[in-house]
Structure formats: C-alpha cells, structure tokens
A and B are shown apart, each in its own frame.
Chain A
C-alpha cells in the first residue's frame, strides 16, 4: 500500500475521513462499501474504457510542444485534456460516476459547479444515460458563465441558483449536499473534484488517473522512458492534478508540481493559495487544509479563474503537501493570463485560465536542458474568451 494513497479508514495520513451529518451517512456508507468492488469489476472497466475511447475521445494526445520547449530550454509535453468531449478533464470523472450511479440503481443525479465545466460534464453524461439531472451553481457564477448554463439547459439539466453565503462554488456545494440530505434514496451526488467525504477523493482520483496512465504509455513511446522529470498541474480542489500525479506518486524521481491560484497576490486578501493561507480543518465532509478565520469560519477565496477559487484542496493534496511529496506553487492572475496568451501565440492553443496557471509555473522553474516536463492542459479556453478579451483589450 502506497503511503500516498487512502488507507482502510478513509484517510491520507491525517487528512480525509467522512465528517458528515447522520442524514448523509447511509448514502456515503453505501458508496464506501461498494465503490471499489463496482469500479474494479472487469465489466465496469470495459464499459468505462469504451466510453472514454468512443465518446470522450481518449486517449488524449501527449503533445510535444516544440516552440514552448525552445523557449524554456527543455522538453515540454502537453497532456491535451482540453481535447476531450466537453473541453476539459472533468468528463473522465462524470463518465465513471454515472456508470457507478447506474450500478447503485440511482435515478436522479445532482452536482455542484463553479465555472460550469463540471456541470456541463455531468449534464452531458445524464443526457447520455437518460437520467434526471440537477446542477447547483452559485447565483453569481450563473451570471458570469452564461454559455455553460445554456449548455446544461440544452442537455436537459435543471440549473438551480445557490443564493446562500457568497453565492459561488462553495455555496453550490452546500446546496448539493442539502439536496442529497433531502433525497437520500434515489439520488447520486456526482462531486466534481477530489474533495468531499471518503470515498469521493479516492474515487474521483481513480477515475482521473487515466491521465497519468496514458501519459506513461505515451512518454514511453515517444521518448523511450515512461517517467517524466516533472509533472505540473493546476489545483483548485485538485482533480486534474491528482489524475496527472496518480501513477507517479510512488516514484520519487518524478517531481510533482501543483499550482494554486494566487489571485491578485498571495497576501493581497484576494487569493486562493490554500496551502499558504490555509490551516487544517474540515469542509464539505473531509479534513484537509482550508482558508478560514481563527474561529473556523470559511473564507471566500478569489481567483480570476472560476475553477480555482475553492477555499480548500482535496485531502490527498493536503497530505502530499504535508509530506513534501509534491511542491505547491502559486501563480497570480496576471502571470496566468500572460502564460495563456503565450501558449496561444507559440503553439496555437488557447488554454483555460485554470490550465494557464500550470503553464505560468514554467517561467519559474529552472531546467537542465534535457529534462522531460509534462504539463496537464486540463481544459480549453473557449469559456474564457471574454475574460482574455477584456484583460488584453483585444
């Protein structure tokens, strides 16, 4: 058993667990008892892999970014999760969870979403499977992300505005949990990141681990060695990063770099750099690191990227941070926006602003020249065009 993987009690070191009210216990317990048995079954794996191939379009390319590599004086590969159906890595997880929900006999699906990527990925698989879908989204995010709201509605999902608290992702998650409390029997909650009570962080990481499984194989084909020197990914809750790191966790030669959003500066008061600003605590059912006051009230984070402004990180990330297995860096709005434009101009790829945070980290790294660096390009930038246009005044 890897020291970086979940233990039999549902913890990564001292992080994780299931801090849930009794009303959620039967649901979460049902999942905990059955998830491994279900997702490790050969039939499930076959169906999962078939959909990833035929529907999502996997394997996603591992693209050797030549001009970017020249700029940084090393060999950079982009793992093209942006080319997945619906435009981001999120669909790897929703495909897995919708199949699981089917095995559990659930008829109704709920989800939370921030920028709308996970909401779209959930609405998509619900349309695919003919299941009822309700997506909770902060009232403010609904205004900011109109195209994704339209996508969800077109696919038949009901989009419900979360009007409590700060009206963003954290509150949408609270509303989804409340829905689950009130609908304990027929409903499955598809959490979009490696957060939530055990077994969600482990389960979502397993579904996203296809990213690093493919990367290994593709690197071997392209370079003759399957392990990179660096794997770099952005972290909000941390699901694309966990997928990118997963199969490299036990190989200490692979340096893992997780990039958080520093917003307007780590100490500006408008930031989402959880590992720097946060303390250990409990949010949304697990013990992790979160941004909070001395009294334990959760602080609303800020990032220009709606996918990274979550006040916590997944418990497995908290453990990778605490053990030093992964390095946690932070990138400001400005750095990310310029890295996004740079990739567009050098490689003709418009990245999501989330992924641009990972790209911006390349500026800060020192390379030897012959190293292999894989960056997870977690999503495409179509949803962010307005932001880019405004920022650069195009």
Chain B
C-alpha cells in the first residue's frame, strides 16, 4: 500500500481534497514550497504537473502555467532534483501528472524509478494508451509502487470503465464532463445522473472527480457522489498573484471549513 491507498482506505467520512499545480510555476523553485504550504493548509493529496509544450487536454490557465514553467527552465530532470528532499518536508501522497512525450524521452522505466526514489506515489499520464501501459510498462509501475491513474469521461463505455477499474491501483479520475481543464462546473441534472451511474457501478477503486471544480459548492456536490475531488486551474490561477503564499490557507479553507 502506498500513501494514496492508505489515504483512501482510512478516509472515513472525510471529503478528500486534491490540488493540482504546475511544477516550476510561478517560479522555478516554488514547487516544494507550495507542496509544504498546501499540506499545512489541510489538503489531502497533491498532483504536481510536469510541463509540456503541447498540452492538448488543458485550457488556457494550465497552458499558461506550463509555458511559464518551461520558460523558467523546468524539465523532468530539474523536477526530480527539486523533489530529492521532498519527503523531509512533505508527508502527503503525491502524484506526478503530465503528457507522455517527456516521459518517453526520460525513459519510462527510469521515470518510474526516479518517482520511487523521491517518494512519489502515483502517476497520471492522460495520453499514455491503456494498451501500452498493459503491454509494456505495468511491471515498471508496479515494481516501484506507483499507482497509475486512468481517466473516465461521461462518454466512456461501461465495459471500458470496468477494464479501467481492473487496471487501477489508486483511484479513478472521473472527469466532470468531456472538457479541457479550467471550465467552471455548473452541476447539472445530467451530470448528477452520470455521477450516480458511476457510483452505482460499485467499482473496487475510489473515485475522485476533477475538471471544473473551483468552488466550495462544486466541491461539495462532487464529493456527495465521490470519495474526493480535484481542484486544478482555480488554484493555478491563484498562483499568478504575487502574494499567493499568504492566500493559500484562505483558498484551501473555502473547501475545508
């Protein structure tokens, strides 16, 4: 069991809050400081994005943070260097999230090993095909104790969701709608029907809902149906403020009063 598994296993009635942010943004060396601040503010786990030049699943806010991070000099090598002493400062479960090409250039096996060395618990690579994970990379993930997180959208078929459930070892990342990141979510009846449909499938993995979660209301409504929810763009937008450090407790507080 890694930290992610333990978190969900022991969560009780809590609504799990995860925060996504881009490594190397707003400044190259802000990555671990932000993690520490988020832990203090009461966040349950973190998704640290490693930037890519062509983030097709992302809306303008995360595109911008990725561009800035690359401009600041962030690479996977730099990130793993920054995370070397992560576990002296932060105890939260941590996932790395990004696109497949930087991982391929780094080397998938080597990437998994580096994750383990710095204490990363799981990985989200939305454009890594399921078949390639199954055929080529699963042993590298498992040997290094990494959860590979798959996404599910309202259009994902039931058979595919069952297959994803069988392959998942951390949680299932349920997209609130088929959309790029950063669209504010208005929870509609359709969406609640979709959340209930997934809940009623009684999957073996916990569910966390992401994309469009930006307010307390959306967080609560999402976690009425799921174990947790993920806030990304809304937090990345906060980081654009020069005094973001002081604002983190208040921002997190709105979700966890």
Give A contacts to B, CB under 8 Å: 9, 17-23, 25-26, 164-165, 170-171, 174, 177-178, 181-182, 184-185, 279-285, 292, 294-298
Asked whether A281 lies within 8 Å of B156 as measured between CB atoms, the reply is no
Asked whether A296 lies within 8 Å of B179 as measured between CB atoms, the reply is no
Please report the C-alpha to C-alpha distance between residue A95 and residue B100 in the assembled complex, in whole angstroms. 33
Report B-chain residues with C-beta under 8 Å of the C-beta of A181.
56-57, 178-180
Asked whether A17 lies within 8 Å of B132 as measured between CB atoms, the reply is yes
In B92-107, which residues have CB < 8 Å from any A CB? Answer: 99-106
Asked whether B175 lies within 8 Å of A292 as measured between CB atoms, the reply is no
Give B contacts to A, CB under 8 Å: 52-60, 63, 67, 70, 75-77, 99-106, 126-129, 131-132, 150-153, 155-157, 160, 175, 178-180, 183
Asked whether B105 lies within 8 Å of A23 as measured between CB atoms, the reply is no
Report B-chain residues with C-beta under 8 Å of the C-beta of A170.
54
The 9 closest A-B pairs by CB, nearest first: A296-B105, A296-B102, A21-B126, A22-B151, A295-B75, A26-B155, A297-B53, A296-B101, A177-B56
Asked whether B56 lies within 8 Å of A174 as measured between CB atoms, the reply is yes
Please report the C-alpha to C-alpha distance between residue A279 and residue B152 in the assembled complex, in whole angstroms. 31
Report B-chain residues with C-beta under 8 Å of the C-beta of A182.
178-180, 183
Please report the C-alpha to C-alpha distance between residue A21 and residue B155 in the assembled complex, in whole angstroms. 12
Asked whether A297 lies within 8 Å of B52 as measured between CB atoms, the reply is yes
Q: How many residue pairs bridge A and B at CB < 8 Å? A: 109
Asked whether B151 lies within 8 Å of A174 as measured between CB atoms, the reply is no
Asked whether A19 lies within 8 Å of B155 as measured between CB atoms, the reply is no
Q: List 26 A-B contacts (CB under 8 A).
A: A21-B57, A22-B152, A22-B175, A26-B153, A26-B155, A26-B156, A26-B157, A165-B54, A165-B63, A174-B55, A177-B56, A178-B58, A178-B180, A181-B178, A182-B183, A184-B153, A184-B178, A281-B104, A283-B54, A292-B101, A295-B77, A295-B106, A296-B52, A296-B102, A298-B53, A298-B101
With A23-B180, A295-B77, A296-B105 given, name 13 new contacts (CB 8 A). Answer: A17-B129, A21-B126, A23-B155, A26-B157, A164-B60, A165-B54, A174-B56, A181-B57, A182-B179, A285-B127, A296-B52, A296-B102, A296-B104
Residue of A17, A20, A295 near B76 (CB, 8 A) is A295
- B109 → chain A, closest Cβ, in Å? 16
Please report the C-alpha to C-alpha distance between residue A164 and residue B105 in the assembled complex, in whole angstroms. 23
Main secondary structure of the interface of B (DSSP, over half): loop
- B207 → chain A, closest Cβ, in Å? 14
Residue of B56, B153, B160 near A178 (CB, 8 A) is B56
In the complex, the chain A residue whose C-beta lies closest to that of B175 is: A23
Asked whether B127 lies within 8 Å of A295 as measured between CB atoms, the reply is no
Asked whether A21 lies within 8 Å of B151 as measured between CB atoms, the reply is yes
In the complex, the chain B residue whose C-beta lies closest to that of A287 is: B104
In the complex, the chain A residue whose C-beta lies closest to that of B164 is: A22
Please report the C-alpha to C-alpha distance between residue A209 and residue B53 in the assembled complex, in whole angstroms. 33
Residue of A164, A171, A282 near B104 (CB, 8 A) is A282
Residue of B52, B57, B103, B150 near A23 (CB, 8 A) is B57
Most A CB within 10 A of own CB, among B54, B104, B156, B180: B54
Residue of B102, B132, B157 near A295 (CB, 8 A) is B102
Residue of A22, A165, A184, A279 near B53 (CB, 8 A) is A165
- B133 → chain A, closest Cβ, in Å? 11
Asked whether A296 lies within 8 Å of B103 as measured between CB atoms, the reply is yes
Please report the C-alpha to C-alpha distance between residue A279 and residue B180 in the assembled complex, in whole angstroms. 28
In the complex, the chain B residue whose C-beta lies closest to that of A26 is: B155
Please report the C-alpha to C-alpha distance between residue A164 and residue B153 in the assembled complex, in whole angstroms. 25
Report B-chain residues with C-beta under 8 Å of the C-beta of A285.
127
Please report the C-alpha to C-alpha distance between residue A285 and residue B57 in the assembled complex, in whole angstroms. 12
Report B-chain residues with C-beta under 8 Å of the C-beta of A297.
52-53, 70, 102
Report B-chain residues with C-beta under 8 Å of the C-beta of A25.
153, 155-156, 160
In the complex, the chain B residue whose C-beta lies closest to that of A21 is: B126
Please report the C-alpha to C-alpha distance between residue A279 and residue B156 in the assembled complex, in whole angstroms. 33
Please report the C-alpha to C-alpha distance between residue A328 and residue B102 in the assembled complex, in whole angstroms. 26
In the complex, the chain B residue whose C-beta lies closest to that of A182 is: B179
Asked whether B56 lies within 8 Å of A164 as measured between CB atoms, the reply is no
Please report the C-alpha to C-alpha distance between residue A183 and residue B157 in the assembled complex, in whole angstroms. 17
Report B-chain residues with C-beta under 8 Å of the C-beta of A283.
54, 101
Please report the C-alpha to C-alpha distance between residue A22 and residue B175 in the assembled complex, in whole angstroms. 9
Report A-chain residues with C-beta under 8 Å of the C-beta of B101.
281-283, 292, 296, 298
In the complex, the chain B residue whose C-beta lies closest to that of A27 is: B155
Known: A164-B60, A296-B105. A23 touches B179 (CB 8 A): yes
Asked whether B105 lies within 8 Å of A19 as measured between CB atoms, the reply is no
Known: A17-B132, A170-B54. A282 touches B100 (CB 8 A): yes
- A201 → chain B, closest Cβ, in Å? 15
In the complex, the chain A residue whose C-beta lies closest to that of B77 is: A295
- B126 → chain A, closest Cβ, in Å? 4
Please report the C-alpha to C-alpha distance between residue A19 and residue B156 in the assembled complex, in whole angstroms. 16
Please report the C-alpha to C-alpha distance between residue A19 and residue B150 in the assembled complex, in whole angstroms. 13
- A237 → chain B, closest Cβ, in Å? 15
- A228 → chain B, closest Cβ, in Å? 37
In the complex, the chain A residue whose C-beta lies closest to that of B98 is: A296
Asked whether A282 lies within 8 Å of B179 as measured between CB atoms, the reply is no
Residue of B57, B105, B132, B152 near A294 (CB, 8 A) is B105
- B36 → chain A, closest Cβ, in Å? 25
- B42 → chain A, closest Cβ, in Å? 30
